[in-house]
């Protein structure tokens, strides 16, 4: 399941009115410090002020002369998940049979995943603690 995040929408929700470059950096850092899907793309309005990233857990795209909403609509397909509070974008995504998560639901989902993976179930779970700190965690 692929995730597409409306980057400016999430950034303004989390950090308020900031410069675009500040929103880009803070939103990317926020997502990279959470347990997000391994196939997540964040799409921002405008031109890149940083390098677009096509590798790793988070793909970063800029819409350049177009609206990020249009880029997201073109990229999604049946079963993809779009994260946005933008009602117009939500409607268009549903018409393409994509699932929609508003930002609060997305935040709840990624915070719950982080809490679930925080520590082994029991304090005496030595194997669990060894896995946790050996750097060989399974995802």
Neighbouring residues of 54: CB distance < 8 A, sequence distance ≥ 6: none
In tens, the pLDDT along 8-22 reads: 999 999 999 888 888
Burial classification of residue 128, based on how many CB atoms lie within 10 Å of its CB (0-12 exposed, 13-18 middle, 19 or more buried): middle
Decide if 64 is inside a domain: yes
CA contacts within 13 A on the Cβ side of 113: 12
Instruction: Report pTM.
Output: 0.77
Burial classification of residue 83, based on how many CB atoms lie within 10 Å of its CB (0-12 exposed, 13-18 middle, 19 or more buried): buried
In tens, the pLDDT along 107-130 reads: 998 886 555 555 444 445 556 656
pLDDT beyond 50 at 139: no
Decide if 61 is inside a domain: yes
In tens, the pLDDT along 62-111 reads: 999 999 999 999 999 999 999 999 999 999 999 999 999 999 999 998 88
Looking at the structure of the chain, the number of domains it has is 1
Comparing CA positions, the residue from 74, 85, 19, 90 lying closest to residue 41 is 74
pLDDT computed for residue 103 by the predictor = 96
Show the domain range for 119.
3-134
CB 5 within 8 A of CB 41: yes
Decide if 139 is inside a domain: no
pLDDT beyond 80 at 134: no
Decide if 59 is inside a domain: yes
């Amino acid at each position: 399941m692929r995730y597409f995040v409306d980057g400016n929408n999430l950034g303004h929700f989390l950090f308020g009115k900031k410069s675009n470059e500040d929103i880009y950096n803070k939103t990317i850092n926020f997502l990279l410090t959470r347990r997000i899907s391994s196939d997540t793309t964040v799409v921002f309005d405008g031109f890149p002020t940083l390098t677009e990233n096509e590798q790793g857990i988070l793909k970063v795209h800029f819409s350049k002369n177009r609206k990020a909403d249009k880029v997201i609509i073109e990229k999604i397909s049946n079963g993809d998940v779009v994260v946005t509070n933008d009602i117009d974008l939500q409607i268009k995504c549903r018409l393409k049979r994509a699932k929609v998560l508003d930002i609060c639901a997305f935040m709840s989902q990624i915070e719950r995943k982080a809490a679930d993976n925080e520590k082994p179930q029991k304090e005496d779970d030595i194997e669990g603690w060894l896995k946790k700190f050996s750097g060989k965690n399974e995802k």
